[in-house]
A and B are shown apart, each in its own frame.
Chain A
Amino acid sequence: MPKIIRQLFIIGNVLLLLSFAAATVRDNRREWKKYQKKFFVLEAKELEEKIAQEQDPKIKESLRPQLIAKKKIRYEIRQMIVKDLNRIDRCVTCHLGMDPLSNPSLTTNFTENPYKGHPGDFLKTHSPTKYGCTICHQGQGLATETAAAHGRVKHWEEPILEPPFLQASCVRCHANFESISYAQAARAGKEFFRHNGCYGCHAIKGWGGVVSEDLGEVASKPLARLDFSSSGLARKDWNIKNWILLHLTKDPMSFVPGDPEGHLGQPIPPSGMPPFYLDFKKDEANAIASYLLSMHGEKMPHEYYVYAPAAPDPALDSAVARGKHVYEKYGCAGCHGVEAKEGRRNFNALGQGQDAAAPDQIAEMAKGREPTLPDTVGTFTRDELKLKIQNGVPSNNIVKFKADGPTPPLYMPAWKEKIKGQELEDLVTYLLSIAKKGEEW
């Protein structure tokens, strides 16, 4: 046999052994073991201190076996199999203080994660053995490594929810969430959503306008359907929470720019969503996101839902006040402004002060506006106004600023199936009441 074969035989065998050894080392050095060890050490230390402070020698003696037991660390993956929700949550592998099996009290004196107990008294009413962890917190229950378990890795689309967005999980089941003290941000979010007329374009499970997409299952929208390329966000931050927040804290035109000048083919308008970021404070944006993140497509067993009757319309005396309520209820404010103050942006609709010769045509097209109602409703008779609301204004009836530019993204849907009868009468009364008084003809 040539010498080289003998040498390769030895080298090959040594390398084989080394690589097997490396695999064994890697397999045995799992991240969660570190946390289990630390937890047991902390527990043992606590017990030792207790023994040291204990005066009664009898009790002192009786505690010793406990200490010895604590010092014998048995590493094991701990998990909660949540049958109803079809989940297996291994979070308690590291978060031992929250494991109902090894720590039935679910409280510890440790203040740091992952050793501390679960804050608040949620687990008293939401037994972790029944609900698990991820149904509220999201993240990846099957994983046993920090980054993967918290869902902050590629190919896991639901990273762990942090306050206040965690409140979305309350809303998923509790239709009465507005009365839950913990879910106040979501409550505020729902109110902002209504007040700013989001319903006008975005229905939620069928309730609302059809201009843009139904947000009824927005929280489980696949990332593949979102285009973050113009968002300026790092790839690791691409998730649905940030997508919703983007719409509320930045100009939607900036990250859904479309292709208004038709560089890639037919001109495509940018996002039609008005620049609400000008009006919203950070808290308000977070509140709306906390509410919307509850709109999850995953179905749960019906007994998990807490039902609540829909809030009744307030009893109002005057037709104008009732009309104003109708205006808010159906989201007219989304396009025509809160309290009908000013029409919102409608890209490439004919607006005021547009200059066809300006160098930045995109900026000029962005000056297009939805009608500002006090200026326009006065030109209609009561019946004409009703007809307008009932039939809406389809996008091909909207006068464009640039004829060969993109179709303006916003239009007025026909409301005749939704706003009718007394509500329509009241709405028209309200609108006519705010009309600017022009010259008498």
Chain B
Amino acid sequence: MSTPSAPPTQEKPGPNGPSRVPWLEKLLGNGFKLPANPEEIKKEVINSQVWRSVFRGGAWKNTPRDRAAHIIGNVWLHLHPVRVRLRSLKFVYSWGMGGISFWLYLLLTISGILLMFYYRPTPEMAFRDMKDLEFAISYGWFWRNLHRWCAHAMVVTVILHMIRVFLTGSYKTPREFNWVLGVTLLTLTLFLSFTGYLLPWDQLALWAVTVGTNMAGATPLLGNEGPFSSLLGMRINNDIRFGLLGGTAVGEATLIRFYVLHCVFVPVVAGAMLMLHFWRVRKDSFSAAPYAPDEEKFETWPHLISREYVAAALVTVGVIVWSLLINAPLEEAANPTVTPNPSKAPWYFLGLQELLVYFDPWIAGVLLPNIIIVGLAAIPYIDSNPKGVGYYSFKERPFANWMFLFGCALWFILIAIGTYFRGPSWGWYWPWEDWAVHKPPPPSTWSIPNLAGGPLVGLYFALGMALPRLVRKELEWRLAVPTVGILSVAAGLSLKIIHTLLVGKVAFFAKNIPHFGAGAFMLIALFLFVVVFFGFLLPQRYIRNLALPKYAMTMVLVLMMLGVLLKMGARLGFNVKYVFSIPQVNFNI
């Protein structure tokens, strides 16, 4: 930095005119004059030697140069540009979610460090320390509540930030890599939150983490319950889950591991990635479009800094009020011999836990989350649409936006189901229903024979890949959409009719699909419509002319997402357990 600082002004500041407190000035002697008003005091302070030594730069004259130096000369602020374009200041454009996420990260660091002064990560002490925080330690309840709610809030704001960045096409060239960093940071945020979930060492913590980490045991090849794991000789005491837990079950080794991961390892990694993330935002410049060379620019100080401050202050007020009103949950002390029914994972993983109804753990808990992460990271590299960078546009990017929002909606609908609609034994309970009411067990299931199921899966992917590209003609949208709707309802209805006719006559139906009610029929019709709309109509209309590799990658991701929906329909409507199954190696779809 080469900004030369102007020499401090030598003139004696102070009011001209009569002294206001004569006796005091007389007492202090040497012609001392008290400042007359706040402005004078401010001047005095800023021009003092102490202030000048701490903050570089000359006397503050509030010139553009001063304000620029304020940003450049400050290590914390200089990741900002000196001047910003008006469009990138707009809250309606950025939602402020990136900055708010980072502020929550800082709040979490502060509150987390304070909690670390009291918390001891051992099964004997951890729960007791929670009680101490609540009942005996000054502000203990406050920092614990704040930490908990900030963590939940940060998961939400990071996801909202991702949605915003997607909808404004901000991941496109030259910002592809920063999007990948962002996806990694999202994963780290979830992992941070998840590792922290165990630390209170109550029943909620123990069992949520047990549910979550059990998924690791289903990892293909590396988890003892995953497909093909027998090939590597995986057992419960040498697989990847064992490595994560430091034992065969969540215990004291897990607690200290998660503690270190939560307090040191992940925050440091995430912090490093954050620096990179910000650095790239700065270097790649802010996305808001359009760029105009002669665009009016605003000074970061005060225009952007004030907005950031206001956002941080209001968010802080929000989490403090939240902490005042609702205490962080704390259930009974962790007891590995008492399994609560139901045991639920942390809320952000409940969508995946809900998918356990329809899939084996290796798919719901390992394959799908990994495909989601990899698929998200791949988006900038397979989206070759150059339009729509830096502004919201469904017209110019209909395929990308609708597909992405559909995925997000699916993710959050599944989370909502897992959170609010699942009770004991993972039965369906309306939110107003008492969990004490006993529900009948789910209907018994059957598996499609491999000779039929294998080709069925193959056909789904083959047709799904081929059809949108084979139909070369532009389909009349106004005709196609209602047609698909009607056909879906007709298909559901005919299934209902076939079932009604055959259920009494064919033993197969009586045994495997005894009921196919109005709910199932409507659900199947809806799923069919959604699958055809997102799997055929949308790709056929918008990406059929894409270069083949990008088209293929896009369609694989789309078909997998819709495949989840189809499998859900197969289970809910027809009680299908597996469509393809090799039980010898735990490979079941």
A12 touching B332, Cβ below 8 Å = no
A157 / chain B contacts, CB cutoff of 8 Å: 332
Whether B303 is near chain A, meaning CB under 8 Å from some CB there, is yes
Which of A143-151, A345-353, A374-382 participates in binding chain B? A143-151
Whether A155 touches B139, Cβ cut-off 8 Å, given contacts A15-B314, A142-B131, is no
CB 8 Å contact bits of A220-252 with B (1 = contact, 0 = none): 001011011100000000000000000000000
B203 / chain A contacts, CB cutoff of 8 Å: 155
A27 touching B441, Cβ below 8 Å = no
Nearest A residue to B306, CB-CB: A5
A33 to chain B, nearest CB (A): 12
B341 touching A224, Cβ below 8 Å = yes
B436 / chain A contacts, CB cutoff of 8 Å: 227-229
A19 touching B321, Cβ below 8 Å = yes
A1 touching B438, Cβ below 8 Å = no
A12 touching B317, Cβ below 8 Å = yes
Whether A90 touches B339, Cβ cut-off 8 Å, given contacts A16-B316, A26-B324, is no
Alpha-carbon separation in the docked complex, A265 to B139 (Å):
52
B142 / chain A contacts, CB cutoff of 8 Å: 23, 26-27
Whether B138 is near chain A, meaning CB under 8 Å from some CB there, is yes
Whether B370 is near chain A, meaning CB under 8 Å from some CB there, is no
B559 to chain A, nearest CB (A): 37
B135 touching A145, Cβ below 8 Å = yes
A118 to chain B, nearest CB (A): 22
A268 to chain B, nearest CB (A): 10
B128 / chain A contacts, CB cutoff of 8 Å: 88, 142
B310 touching A8, Cβ below 8 Å = yes
B139 / chain A contacts, CB cutoff of 8 Å: 23, 27
A77 touching B136, Cβ below 8 Å = yes
Whether B532 is near chain A, meaning CB under 8 Å from some CB there, is no
Alpha-carbon separation in the docked complex, A156 to B438 (Å):
24
Most chain A beta-carbon contacts within 10 A, residue among B128, B310, B320: B310
Interface residues in B548-567 (C-beta closer than 8 Å to A): none
Whether B470 is near chain A, meaning CB under 8 Å from some CB there, is no
B437 touching A229, Cβ below 8 Å = yes
Whether B118 is near chain A, meaning CB under 8 Å from some CB there, is no
Interface residues in B111-165 (C-beta closer than 8 Å to A): 124, 128, 131-132, 134-136, 138-139, 141-142
Nearest A residue to B128, CB-CB: A142
A264 touching B320, Cβ below 8 Å = no
Whether A124 is near chain B, meaning CB under 8 Å from some CB there, is no
Contact of A23 among B303, B323, B331, B440 (CB under 8 A): B323
Alpha-carbon separation in the docked complex, A157 to B136 (Å):
21
Whether A175 is near chain B, meaning CB under 8 Å from some CB there, is no
Whether B233 is near chain A, meaning CB under 8 Å from some CB there, is no
B156 to chain A, nearest CB (A): 20
Q: How large is the interface on B (under 10, 10 to 19, 20 to 34, 35 or more residues)?
A: 35 or more
Whether A20 is near chain B, meaning CB under 8 Å from some CB there, is yes
Whether B422 is near chain A, meaning CB under 8 Å from some CB there, is no
Whether B330 is near chain A, meaning CB under 8 Å from some CB there, is yes
B338 / chain A contacts, CB cutoff of 8 Å: 222, 224-225
Whether B335 is near chain A, meaning CB under 8 Å from some CB there, is yes
CB 8 Å contact bits of B287-310 with A (1 = contact, 0 = none): 000000000000000110011011
A145 / chain B contacts, CB cutoff of 8 Å: 135
Whether A143 touches B131, Cβ cut-off 8 Å, given contacts A12-B317, A20-B320, is yes
A155 touching B331, Cβ below 8 Å = yes
Whether A155 touches B330, Cβ cut-off 8 Å, given contacts A23-B323, A77-B136, A265-B441, is yes
B135 / chain A contacts, CB cutoff of 8 Å: 90, 142-145, 148
Whether A12 touches B324, Cβ cut-off 8 Å, given contacts A155-B331, A224-B341, A264-B441, is no
Nearest B residue to A22, CB-CB: B324
B317 touching A5, Cβ below 8 Å = no
Alpha-carbon separation in the docked complex, A88 to B124 (Å):
13
Whether A9 is near chain B, meaning CB under 8 Å from some CB there, is yes
A150 to chain B, nearest CB (A): 13
Whether B243 is near chain A, meaning CB under 8 Å from some CB there, is no
CB 8 Å contact bits of A389-412 with B (1 = contact, 0 = none): 000000000000000000000000
Most chain B beta-carbon contacts within 10 A, residue among A12, A13, A22, A157: A12
A148 / chain B contacts, CB cutoff of 8 Å: 135
Whether B77 is near chain A, meaning CB under 8 Å from some CB there, is no
A103 to chain B, nearest CB (A): 21
Nearest B residue to A32, CB-CB: B135
Nearest A residue to B330, CB-CB: A155
B320 / chain A contacts, CB cutoff of 8 Å: 16, 19-20, 22-23
Alpha-carbon separation in the docked complex, A237 to B436 (Å):
15
Alpha-carbon separation in the docked complex, A8 to B495 (Å):
59
Whether B313 is near chain A, meaning CB under 8 Å from some CB there, is yes
Whether B455 is near chain A, meaning CB under 8 Å from some CB there, is no
Interface residues in B35-66 (C-beta closer than 8 Å to A): none
Whether B340 is near chain A, meaning CB under 8 Å from some CB there, is yes
B277 to chain A, nearest CB (A): 26
Interface residues in B386-443 (C-beta closer than 8 Å to A): 434, 436-441
B138 / chain A contacts, CB cutoff of 8 Å: 27
Contact of A90 among B136, B314, B324 (CB under 8 A): B136
Nearest A residue to B316, CB-CB: A16
CB 8 Å contact bits of A187-206 with B (1 = contact, 0 = none): 00000000000000000000
B314 touching A8, Cβ below 8 Å = yes
Nearest A residue to B145, CB-CB: A23
Contact of A224 among B141, B302, B317, B340 (CB under 8 A): B340
Whether A299 is near chain B, meaning CB under 8 Å from some CB there, is no
Nearest A residue to B435, CB-CB: A229
Interface residues in B304-357 (C-beta closer than 8 Å to A): 306-307, 309-310, 313-314, 316-317, 320-321, 323-324, 330-332, 335, 338-341
A29 to chain B, nearest CB (A): 12
Contact of A16 among B307, B317, B439, B441 (CB under 8 A): B317
Whether A263 touches B324, Cβ cut-off 8 Å, given contacts A12-B314, A224-B338, is no
Nearest B residue to A157, CB-CB: B332
A22 / chain B contacts, CB cutoff of 8 Å: 320, 324
B302 touching A1, Cβ below 8 Å = yes
B335 touching A222, Cβ below 8 Å = yes
A15 touching B324, Cβ below 8 Å = no
B359 to chain A, nearest CB (A): 24
B437 touching A15, Cβ below 8 Å = no
Alpha-carbon separation in the docked complex, A27 to B339 (Å):
35
A156 / chain B contacts, CB cutoff of 8 Å: 332
A1 / chain B contacts, CB cutoff of 8 Å: 302-303, 306
Contact of B310 among A9, A26, A144, A225 (CB under 8 A): A9
CB 8 Å contact bits of A3-18 with B (1 = contact, 0 = none): 0010011001101100
Can you list 22 residue pairs at the A/B interface with Cβ under 8 Å?
A8-B310, A8-B314, A9-B309, A9-B310, A9-B313, A12-B317, A15-B313, A15-B314, A16-B313, A22-B320, A23-B139, A26-B142, A26-B324, A140-B131, A143-B131, A143-B135, A145-B135, A148-B135, A155-B203, A229-B437, A264-B439, A264-B440
4 closest Cβ pairs, A-B complex: A229-B436, A12-B313, A19-B320, A142-B131
Further contacts, 16 of them, CB under 8 A, given A90-B135, A144-B136, A264-B440: A5-B307, A8-B314, A9-B306, A9-B313, A12-B310, A13-B313, A22-B324, A79-B136, A143-B131, A155-B332, A222-B335, A224-B338, A224-B341, A229-B434, A229-B436, A265-B441
Binding site for A on B (CB under 8 A): 124, 128, 131-132, 134-136, 138-139, 141-142, 202-203, 302-303, 306-307, 309-310, 313-314, 316-317, 320-321, 323-324, 330-332, 335, 338-341, 434, 436-441
